[in-house]
Amino acid sequence: MKKTLLTLVALLLVITGCERDDICIDEITPHLVVRFYNNDDQTLLKKFSQLSVKIMGVENDSINFSSNDSILIPLKTTEDITRFIITLDSDQNTFNRDTLTVAYGREDVFVGRSCGFKTIFNNANYTLQTDSENWILDTEIITQTIDNETTAHVKIFH
C-alpha cells in the first residue's frame, strides 16, 4: 500500500509540475520586414551602410541599423497608420532623409496566457513623400498581409 501511495504522490507531482507558461515565448505582433534592393538591377539585394529609423509620434530615439539588406521595424497598434523617417548614411554629413508612410487595417488575435494578444495587419499600403532628392527610388509590395516575420513584406529600391 505504501508503494502505491508513493507512486501516486510521484504521479501527482509529474502531472502538476512543469509550470512554464509564465514566460511569453510565442510570436507577438509582427514587425514590418523591409528588404533593400538595387534599383538598377531589381533582382539584386543592395546593402546600406548606415540607416536610422524614427517613428513619428513615438518618444523614443531612432532605431539604428548598420550594413544590412533588411530591417525589422515595429508598426503602431493604436493607429491605422505609421509614419517612418528613414535616414540613409545617418552617421555622415551627406545623410538623406525620406518619409515613408504605411497605412493598414488591424486585427487583434489571441496568442496565449502569457503573451496576451497580438495585432496582425492587412491591406498594407506605402506612400513615399517626395522631396528634392529621394534616396528611396521605388517601393514594391510583396504581401499586403503582415502576420509573420519569416518573409519580407516590402522591397525598397535604392
Interaction site with another protein (CB under 8 A): 1, 4-5, 8-9, 11-13, 15-16, 18-21, 24, 28-29, 31, 55, 58-60, 63, 74-78, 108-119
Least spacing, CB of residue 28 vs another protein, in Å? 4
Least spacing, CB of residue 63 vs another protein, in Å? 7
**Residue 141 to residue 155: CA distance in whole angstroms:** 6
Least spacing, CB of residue 29 vs another protein, in Å? 4
**Comparison of 44 and 72: residue with beta carbon closer to another protein:** 72
**Comparison of 13 and 94: residue with beta carbon closer to another protein:** 13
Neighbours of 43 (CB within 10 A): 6
**Comparison of 6 and 141: residue with beta carbon closer to another protein:** 6
Least spacing, CB of residue 21 vs another protein, in Å? 4
**Comparison of 111 and 128: residue with beta carbon closer to another protein:** 111
Least spacing, CB of residue 62 vs another protein, in Å? 10
Assign residue 46 a region: left if phi > 0, alpha if psi is -120 to 50, beta otherwise? beta
**Comparison of 108 and 138: residue with beta carbon closer to another protein:** 108
**Residue 97 to residue 37: CA distance in whole angstroms:** 18
Pairing of strands 96-112, 70-73: unpaired
SS3 4: helix
